[in-house]
Structure 1
Amino acid sequence: MPKFLAVYTMKAEDFARFRNLSKAEQDAIDAEGIPKWVEWEERNAAHILNRGGMVGKTTRVTRDGIAAASNPICGYLIVEAPTAEAAARLFQDHPHITVFPGDGVDIMPFVTDPDL
């Protein structure tokens, strides 16, 4: 079955807005979102090949050297589904976009087999 990289994205301004909330407001969002995230993973466990993880600030390497960079990527996982559309449908109710300030989830097919 085809494998897909699912990349969680978040706009910098949405992350900043979340971090500017009070600790109690952030904790309330976490208290709602974390159990929903766990439930989403349990419900879709048959499709998840690698739970991936969340990521922090970007360092970019180019021909010109190494420097801090910015992109909307905040995490990833690897799923298996019959089609890209089927993989995308898995994420329609994901807490990253329904509870947390996530911007979206980008779904990309692997064109080479990932080493899992």
Structure 2
Amino acid sequence: MPRFLAVYTMKPEDLAGFRARPKAEQDALDDAGLKQWVDWSTANAAAIVDPGLMVGKTMRVTRDGVAEAANPFCGYVVVEAETIEDAARLFTKHPHFTVFPGDGVDIMPVVTGPET
């Protein structure tokens, strides 16, 4: 079955706005969001090939050296689906952007890697 990389995205200003909220409010959103994330993962377990990770600051390496960089990526998951549209539908109403300050999930086909 085809595999798709789903990359969680978040604007730095949205994260800053979330972190500017009172700690109790952040904690309440974290508790609610993490429960919904577990529920989403459980409901879609058959499609999840790699549960992925959340990521932090970026360093970019080029022929000119190493430097701090910025991008909207904050995590990923790998899923299996018949089509990219089916993969995308797995993420409708995902807590990444319905509870947490994420702005979207980018879905792209995996074009290399182990045979399935």
**Residues 1-116 of structure 1 aligned to structure 2 (within 5 Å):** 1-114=1-114
For residue 89 of structure 1, report the CA deviation from its aligned partner: 0.2
C-alpha root-mean-square deviation of aligned residues, in Å?
Answer: 1.4
User: Cα distance 1:115–1:37, how it changes in 2: closer, same or farther (>3 A)?
Assistant: farther
For residue 113 of structure 1, report the CA deviation from its aligned partner: 2.2
Question: Where does structure 1 differ by over 6 angstroms across 4 or more consecutive aligned residues?
Answer: none
2: CA distance, partners of 1:97 / 1:114: 31
**Structure 1: which 5+ residue stretches go unaligned?**
none
For residue 115 of structure 1, report the CA deviation from its aligned partner: 8.4
Identity in percent: 66
TM-score by length of 2: 0.96
User: Cα distance 1:115–1:29, how it changes in 2: closer, same or farther (>3 A)?
Assistant: farther
For residue 93 of structure 1, report the CA deviation from its aligned partner: 1.5
Q: Residue type of the partner of 1:45?
A: A
Q: Residue type of the partner of 2:110?
A: F
TM-score by length of 1: 0.96
2: CA distance, partners of 1:114 / 1:22: 45
Q: Residue type of the partner of 1:112?
A: T
2: CA distance, partners of 1:115 / 1:85: 21
1: CA distance, partners of 2:86 / 2:53: 21
Q: Residue type of the partner of 2:70?
A: S
For residue 28 of structure 1, report the CA deviation from its aligned partner: 1.0
SS of equivalent residue, structure 1 residue 88:
helix
